[in-house]
Amino acid sequence: MRTTRLCGLVGLLTACGGPSAETQVEELRVLVLRGDPPEIGPGEPFGVEGVVADPLDEGFETLFWTCTRLGPDCIEPSASTDAAWPGLRADSAPTGDIAETGFASPALSAVAGPEPLPLIQLYVLACTPGTCPVIDRAAADPAPGSAEADLLVADLADPFTMLEGLPMQGVSLATFSLSLSSRPEAERHQNPGLSCTRSGEGPVAPGAEVTFTCSAEGSFDADGGLWGYATLGAWDGSSVQVDAPDPEITYTWIAPARETGDATLWLVLVDGLGGLSWQELTVGVE
């Protein structure tokens, strides 16, 4: 059994033990993002999966794009004469689940080798409606070479600079690297497996502790871990270290002391090698 907590700088400086404030999801957030599979070959399609949490129930719109860098710039804007940024997708009425697709350029065969390289960057931007003008500009599908297209390309090529002009609230950007290699499919890295069950059944009282027992499958390194997030309450410690397959990993969620309602919980397993998995659960607090 492995229950070592990871403490220190993980977004914020936190202490070991007790409810961890950084595990609380209080506003719009792209919570999880991964490639499926996490390692592909040149010219191959891939899926993008994830979760957008909207605990305030304000609604949101999303923008998905990829940036493949063989140098300082993304190759996508120069890959087509039909679109300002190939593969760009804006969605004004999404669900909480991210489900997108992409396609690796066949031209990447020139750089693909036996060792996986994290060349393809996945991006998802989620914003409350009307907050992010770039989503409207993308939905308008400007003609390549136009002033509107040039502005869109500049924003997508440098998204963190773009964020500087947006509000702090109601905006969330997540990025994840997809690896490219020439390895046979059977030898490529896969996302880990995760299965969790909770102690007890049914609703719990305010302040109650609920222990989750999880098993992890796959390959892991020292950066692997199980991370918890919750719309109500908090997890006991920011995460639990997972550096090998383990049939019994325990992690405890603490219900809020003064709030009731349904808490949405996420357990996110990161293998430290480019793979990720998660499980979503609901616990009532009465």
Residue 267's DSSP bridge partners are 228, 279
| Beta-strand relationship, 276-285 and 261-270 | antiparallel
Which phi-psi region, left, alpha or beta, contains residue 184 (left: φ > 0; alpha: ψ -120 to 50)? beta
**How do the pLDDT tens digits run along the chain, 286 residues long?**
343 333 332 333 334 557 899 999 999 999 999 999 999 999 999 999 999 999 999 999 999 999 999 888 999 998 878 899 999 999 988 999 999 999 999 989 999 999 999 999 999 999 999 999 999 999 999 999 999 999 999 999 999 999 998 999 999 999 999 999 999 999 999 999 999 999 999 999 999 999 999 999 999 999 999 999 999 999 999 999 999 999 899 999 999 999 999 999 999 999 999 999 999 999 999 9
Domains located in the chain, CATH noted: 9-25+190-285 (2.60.40.150), 39-187 (no CATH)
Q: Name residue 284's amino acid.
A: G
Q: What is the dihedral of CA 37, 39, 45, 51, to 10 degrees?
A: 40
Distance of alpha carbon 92 from alpha carbon 189, whole angstroms: 33
197, two tokens:
């069950």
In terms of DSSP H, where are the helices of the chain? 133-139, 147-157, 159-163
pTM of the model: 0.91
Sheet holding 239-241, edge to edge: 239-241, 225-230, 261-270, 276-285
Residue 237's DSSP bridge partners are none
Sheet holding 246-254, edge to edge: 19-20, 234-236, 246-254, 209-217, 193-198
131, two tokens:
């907050």
